[in-house]
Amino acid sequence: MHLIHSTAPETKTQPCLKDVVARVVRRYLQDMGHAQSNDLYDTVLAEVEPGLLQEVMIHCRGNQSRAAEILGMNRATLRKKLKQYAVSEG
């Protein structure tokens, strides 16, 4: 069996979302030092969810049904979250 070696330059791939979140949370914890936090999960959601919702609504041009489908939630839940975070609908 012969192996074919590509001479094309390697392309850098962007880090996956999981890696970006891990890096940011790691930095957040380091910055906190020994300070106690009992609600990190809620804090991360409150920081991330509004931006996620806003970007998906922009992507869907305000179409809540499509946005809910992309997000994997029902439209009523999406509407509730848009209101909760005061996110514009596109």
pLDDT in tens, 4-57: 444 555 556 777 989 999 999 999 999 988 887 788 999 899 999 999 999 999
- In order of their start, the domains of the chain are 42-90 (1.10.10.60)
- Is pTM beyond 0.75 here? no
Question: What is the Cα–Cα distance from 71 to 65, expressed in whole angstroms?
Answer: 10
Cα–Cα nearest to 25, from 41, 49, 38: 41
3-state DSSP assignment of residue 60: coil
pLDDT digits (tens, 9 = 90+) for 56-85: 999 999 999 999 999 999 999 999 999 999
CB 53 within 8 A of CB 81: yes
| 12: phi then psi, degrees, rounded to nearest 5 | -75, 135
CA–CA distance, 68 with 54 (Å, rounded to integer) = 12
